[in-house]
Structure 1
Amino acid sequence: MNKKGFLFTALLLVGILVLAGCSSSNKEEAAPADNANANTIQAENGVLNVEASNWKFNGEKFVVKSGADVTINLKNVEGFHGLAIDELGVNIQGDGSATFKADKPGEYTIYCSVPCGQGHNDMKSTLVVELFAMFGKPDETRV
Structure 2
Amino acid sequence: MITYYDDRSVQVTSTAVRVDGRTFPLTEISLVWHQRGSRSWRVLAGRGAIGAALAGPLVAAALGIALALWLDRSPTVTIAIVGASVLVGLAVGPVADFLFEHLDRSYARGSRQLELWARWRGHPVRLLRTGDALRFGQIYRAVQRAVERSQPAAARRG
Same fold per superposition (TM over 0.5): no
- Structure with the greater relative contact order (CA < 8 A, sep ≥ 6): 1 or 2? 2
Q: Which structure features the higher share of strand residues?
A: 1
TM-score (normalizing by structure 1): 0.29
Q: Which structure features the higher share of helix residues?
A: 2
TM-score (normalizing by structure 2): 0.27
